[in-house]
Structure 1
């Protein structure tokens, strides 16, 4: 039996509230689902294991500043540049897992600077920006939000005790790209340089991986990782990427004992 136009119209009107209810439920579920913050980066952010202790990536401390509605998926790996991370399929792995509403934090430069290594080197104003665009566009295509973070600074001081920048044009190139692509920028390079200046030549030794056998001015120990993770969380709040209800403990001391180094997978 064929339906009249009036019957079709009435059926459509009757179905509309149900459709709106289903849509509203889906939107509410999206708003309240647990979101994930993905980290793409190098050894300064990466998870460290028992054989590397007390070396600590800031990504290991980052979850201490986030509430339970935000998970951290730390894909940062030692020795990677914006280029090698892509070439090894690591960005693809993130993009296969990332979902609408998630965040992708992108921090590279330390290994992009390796001029003698063509598998990692990028030029600040060309290939570096080109690779960073892959992260930005990939996240956006999947409904996630990209966030660029300039590379955290190394520990370097001049003869007068002034903290010295070490990343050349890479931070400037990232700032320019963030403005061009309208991507939120966390200027971790500038913030960490100012922090090292405040702490001073001797004080910063307690933030970096200085041990009886090693004097490492690039990688952190637990206090340093906690300090940088705090900078990142504060900037995410200041730039309104995260809301006040998303963060915690920004003004609290974080015990070093919260940092743990699991055994590496076999």
Structure 2
């Protein structure tokens, strides 16, 4: 499975993904919830391997402190890419999870940037997609603006490519309106899906249609900004893919990958 496989001996280009639940490849029991990293390979040539190391619940702090960044840096090789996307969990109040925008958030992100460059790989910073934040009055506020600004500033200071998925997704959501946007997020009525028989409303996580929209934009930006060779990117003109194109991991396989892709403690995230 290209979106979660990893073969040290495999030739060809590789894109490593670091982030939280908006990026992660989900296990089958979480379907139809999908991270954009789970479907990014649909917009890349088959020989481009996507190694999705994102972890649900991770902030820039915990991804680094739990040894997940170390695992990537141990395996990344010259010419590879490292896409890092954080902010949502960094804004949460828990002290073990939280970072401060324009403070240690950027300090932790710098570990991703410098670590990749020290190994002659290419870092890319990607802001997280906006949530379904519509209020009862039909307004769409922004949820983590200062973290997006903080990441953009670090990208400027370090001359690191920056893909602003936050602003792009907010523009999409605003154009779509509060009712149409619901089809992109996990809003399930009771009995609508076997994994959520009692129903489930989650304004932060995407279903396949939303994840594909974000993945398509990231692939487009990688080519348009000349971050990767343009011929790596495919299917930008595709109207979409059927839900069957999404592969969820078996629960045991997902757990094994989660345990394996760290050189540190496995606490919390």
- Normalising by the smaller structure, the TM-score range is 0.7 to 0.9
| TM-score where L is the length of structure 2 | 0.84
Aligned to 2:36: 58
1:202 is matched with 179
Structure 2: how far apart are the matches of 1:145 and 1:192? 24
Question: Does residue 62 of structure 2 align to residue 84 of structure 1?
Answer: yes
SS in 2 for 1:169: helix
Which residues in structure 2 correspond to 1:203-242 (within 5 Å)? 203-212=180-189, 213-242=199-228
Looking at CA atoms only, which structure, 1 or 2, has the larger radius of gyration? 1
Structure 2 portions without partners, runs of 5+: 1-10, 190-198, 256-269
Match of 2:80 in 1: 102
Structure 1 segment 112-191 matched on structure 2, within 5 A: 112-115=90-93, 117-158=94-135, 161-191=138-168
The structural deviation recorded for 1:160 is 5.1
Instruction: Tell me the C-alpha RMSD between the 2 structures.
Output: 1.2
Moved more, 59-68 or 150-159: 150-159
After superposition, what is the alpha-carbon deviation per residue over 1:19-74, rounded to whole angstroms, capped at 9, x for unaligned? xxxxxxxxxxxxxx511000000001101011111111111110000002311000
The corresponding residue for 2:248 is 261
Structure with the higher helix share, 1 or 2: 1
- Kindly tell me the number of residue pairs found equivalent between the two proteins: 233
Partner SS, residue 145 of structure 2? coil
Distance 1:194 1:168 in 2: 14
* TM-score normalised by structure 1 residue count: 0.85
The residue that corresponds to 1:39 in the other structure is: 17
Inter-partner Cα distance in structure 2 for 1:161 and 1:233: 31
Counterpart-to-counterpart distance in 2, 1:80 and 1:199: 29
SS of equivalent residue, structure 1 residue 203: helix
Counterpart Cα distance in 2 of 1:155 and 1:131: 27
Q: Distance in 2 between matches of 1:239 and 1:254?
A: 24
Q: Which runs of 4+ in 1 moved over 6 A?
A: none
Distance apart, 1:260 and its partner CA: 2.2
Question: Which deviates more from structure 2 when the two are superposed, residues 180-189 or residues 236-245?
Answer: 236-245
- Which is bigger in relative contact order (C-alpha 8 A, separation at least 6)? 2
CA distance in 1, matches of 2:166, 2:29: 28
